[in-house]
Amino acid sequence: MITFVIGGNKSGKSDFALGLLEREPGPKLFLATGRAKDLSFRKQIARHRDRRDPALPVVEVGWDLPRALLEAKRDYAAVLVDSLDFWLYLCAQEQRETDLTQALLDILKIWKGPDLILVSCEIGFAPLSASSEARTFMKKLGRLNQAVAAQAHEAHLVVAGLPLALKKAEHGDP
């Protein structure tokens, strides 16, 4: 089953997704896409790390998320990816966002692996940026979020730490 968790920055989406992962039986994996490039982000990553079970394996995947997902299928019963927004940013820096986004969506379309929880930032609530680069990124992330939500069996919006079910798995779905 694919579960999509979306929310604004500091909405509680990562904690909610981690709670979903912790309820899953069997071996679990955390795929982190964030890489600290400044002190503030390093502190944010450290706070996230402190809230996780130290026994939970964490792999920093950077932009190579599609390959990491395929490898995770072999050994894990549940996988959490946090987060697609930072992943898309890294793909753009590598000038590979088109092919890597398509590779991710192709994998999700045929996903028959472990339960997969994907986290992303909903930036559609943010004010329109004056920067054309930021507006372009917002559009691309919005399209990615829509495509992932369409593939997901369940989707949750987290606001102020409270999850709202947007999409529930149909009876008989995985």
Residue span of the structural domain in which 31 resides: 6-167
Q: Which two tokens stand for residue 167?
A: 């999409």
Contact between residue 52 and residue 17 where contact means Cβ atoms under 8 Å apart = no
Note whether residue 1 is domain-resident. Answer: no
User: In the prediction, which pLDDT does 75 show?
Assistant: 94
Q: Which two tokens stand for residue 6?
A: 């979306």
User: In the prediction, which pLDDT does 136 show?
Assistant: 92
Note whether residue 133 is domain-resident. Answer: yes
Task: Give phi and psi for 129, each to the nearest 5.
Answer: -75, 150
Q: How many domains does the chain have?
A: 1
> Which residue in 99, 97, 80 sits closest to 137, CA to CA?
97
Contact between residue 31 and residue 68 where contact means Cβ atoms under 8 Å apart = yes
Q: Which two tokens stand for residue 62?
A: 């950077």
Q: Is the dihedral of CA 76, 82, 85, 86 positive or negative?
A: negative
Question: Any idea what the CATH number is for the domain that residue 39 is in?
Answer: 3.40.50.300
User: In the prediction, which pLDDT does 127 show?
Assistant: 77
User: In the prediction, which pLDDT does 25 show?
Assistant: 94
Note whether residue 70 is domain-resident. Answer: yes
Task: Give phi and psi for 118, each to the nearest 5.
Answer: -115, 130
Note whether residue 123 is domain-resident. Answer: yes
Note whether residue 172 is domain-resident. Answer: no
pLDDT tens for each residue of 33-51: 976 665 666 666 666 666 7
* pTM for the structure as a whole: 0.90
Note whether residue 174 is domain-resident. Answer: no
Sites in the chain below the pLDDT cut of 70:
35-50, 52, 171-174
Note whether residue 32 is domain-resident. Answer: yes
